[in-house]
Amino acid sequence: MSLASLSANLLLVSFIAYLVATLFFGGAVKGAKSEASYKNNRWGKIGISITIIGFITHLGYFITRWIASGHAPMSNMFEFTTAFAMMLVGAFILIFYLYRTPSLGLFALPIAIIIIGYASMFPTEITPLIPALQSYWLAVHVITAALGEAILAISAVAGLIYLLKNVDLTKPSKQRFWLEAVVFTLVLVLGFVVSSTTFKMTGYEAHFTYIDKNEKPAKIEYNYPPLFGMNEYEAKTPEAMTPWAELPAVINAKTLTTFVWSVVTGTILYLLLRLIFRKPIALVFQPFAKKANSQLMDEIGYRSVLIGFPVFTLGALIFAMIWAHEAWSRFWGWDPKEVWALITWLFYAAFLHVRLSQGWEGKKSAWLAVIGFVIIMFNLIAVNLIIAGLHSYA
């Protein structure tokens, strides 16, 4: 078996391990009366052991891929996102040992699983590095930044648990609406995974030529039936469907097509779930959060921001500036990705300040943590795919 395929198999093992570990954490929460009494629950111990095994194989994936390609596997969407999931699990393990709460695992692991699923929809082959990325700063900067983001993401997980427990979901309210919206977004990601996998298995391909925004001819390949066509497109695959509309050059019609397919699939999935459960999906998850201790979740939320913020600053701003100075001759260039890293940083700075001085604890703090995660994901996904800049890869 080559290193590259060994690497892929290790990732698969982690994926399964996280799934199994989630079940055990579920068992731990179900069997206990309260936070205090499930601290040393046997199910919880098995759960964390399996999580650690999964994390080690995940690390194995990372290292073998690094050896195979000769560079840190953080250089395209698949690699970065997979590594982010790994660090999320790592951050969870760290926080678990500080607070020993299975509730956190019950929510953190499924999120890691969804992220790995999302990552696997992007091209997974090993790409050689373009000149701008050939630097040891690639490893130093991206690993630290991703680690910081992963630790910050744990605060969103804790926040979500806090909200599921403390927001009254039995009657309509703004908070209930938004909580359901968060759940809906997660279902949309599943929608992307399902639709993308479906078309991949059927081997769907449609080729086009088009004129890009600098008025140069270009080629593109769709893996979904093309709902929207690129600027001045010409179909090269006659049997594929004809796009409904041609879009101006600044909009990537392929990305929009993928997005619309995912939203449609996700919405159908969501409606199916609503039909099965006959209540808001957040309410389905609520019992799993009920036994968590609110004060503890609030503190985990704060603590993970406190740990994640310095790491993020170091990786996403300081190391980033040093590298940008080496590679692009300026330490800061207001590139969209840079700006969004700054926005993330400012956001968490604001979080820390309002928490400390305005006493924004509990629900407010939990909502802020969730919004912070949304910003991180926006930077990872939307800025890469939509607002293309120097950083966009894949």
Q: Give, as ranges, the residues between 328 and 347 that touch ligand HEM (CB under 6 A).
A: 346
354 binds other proteins (CB under 8 A): yes
Site string for other proteins, 262-301 (x = CB under 8 A): -------------------------------xxxx--x--
Alpha helix positions (H), 100-173: 102-119, 136-166
Q: Which span (141-149, 206-214, 351-359, 384-392) binds ligand HEM, by CB under 6 A?
A: 351-359
Closest CB 310 distance from other proteins, rounded Å: 4
Name the binder of 393 from other proteins, ligand HEM, none, CB < 5-8 A by kind: none
Q: Which span (20-28, 47-55, 174-182, 341-349) binds other proteins, by CB under 8 A?
A: 341-349
Q: Return the residues of window 105-144 that contact other proteins according to CB under 8 A.
A: 123, 125-128, 130-132, 134-135, 137
Looking at 342, 374, 381, 385, which residue binds other proteins (CB under 8 A)? Answer: 342
Q: Name the helix (H) or strand (E) containing 255.
A: helix 253-277
Looking at 38, 99, 210, 222, which residue binds other proteins (CB under 8 A)? Answer: 99
Q: Name the helix (H) or strand (E) containing 206.
A: strand 206-211
* HEC sequence for 307-368: HHHHHHHHHHHHHHHHHHHHHHCCCCCCCHHHHHHHHHHHHHHHHHHHHHHCCCCCHHHHHH
Phi-psi region of 139 (alpha: psi -120 to 50; beta: other; left: phi over 0): alpha
Q: State in Å, rounded, how far the first CA of the chain is from the last one.
A: 27
Looking at 213, 236, 274, 353, which residue binds ligand HEM (CB under 6 A)? Answer: 353
- Residue whose C-alpha is closest to residue 9's, from 63, 61, 71: 61
Measured distance CA(389)–CA(383) in Å, rounded: 8
Q: Which span (124-132, 246-254, 276-284, 348-356) binds ligand HEM, by CB under 6 A?
A: 348-356
Q: Return the residues of window 310-339 that contact other proteins according to CB under 8 A.
A: 310, 313-314, 317-318, 321-322, 325-331, 333-336, 339
Measured distance CA(67)–CA(79) in Å, rounded: 14
Backbone phi, psi, residue 286, to 5°:
-55, -45
Q: Contact at 8 Å (CB) between 38 and 105?
A: no
Q: Return the residues of window 228-257 that contact other proteins according to CB under 8 A.
A: 248-250
Looking at 114, 251, 268, 352, which residue binds ligand HEM (CB under 6 A)? Answer: 352
Name the binder of 31 from other proteins, ligand HEM, none, CB < 5-8 A by kind: none
Closest CB 338 distance from ligand HEM, rounded Å: 15
Q: Contact at 8 Å (CB) between 292 and 103?
A: yes
Closest CB 343 distance from ligand HEM, rounded Å: 11
- Residue whose C-alpha is closest to residue 98's, from 48, 56, 166, 34: 48
Q: Contact at 8 Å (CB) between 96 and 158?
A: no
Name the binder of 245 from other proteins, ligand HEM, none, CB < 5-8 A by kind: none
Please identify which residue in the block is written with the tokens 């397919």. Answer: 261
Name the binder of 202 from ligand HEM, other proteins, none, CB < 5-8 A by kind: none
Q: Return the residues of window 361-380 that contact other proteins according to CB under 8 A.
A: none
Report the interface residues with ligand HEM, using CB under 6 A: 346, 349, 352-353, 356-357
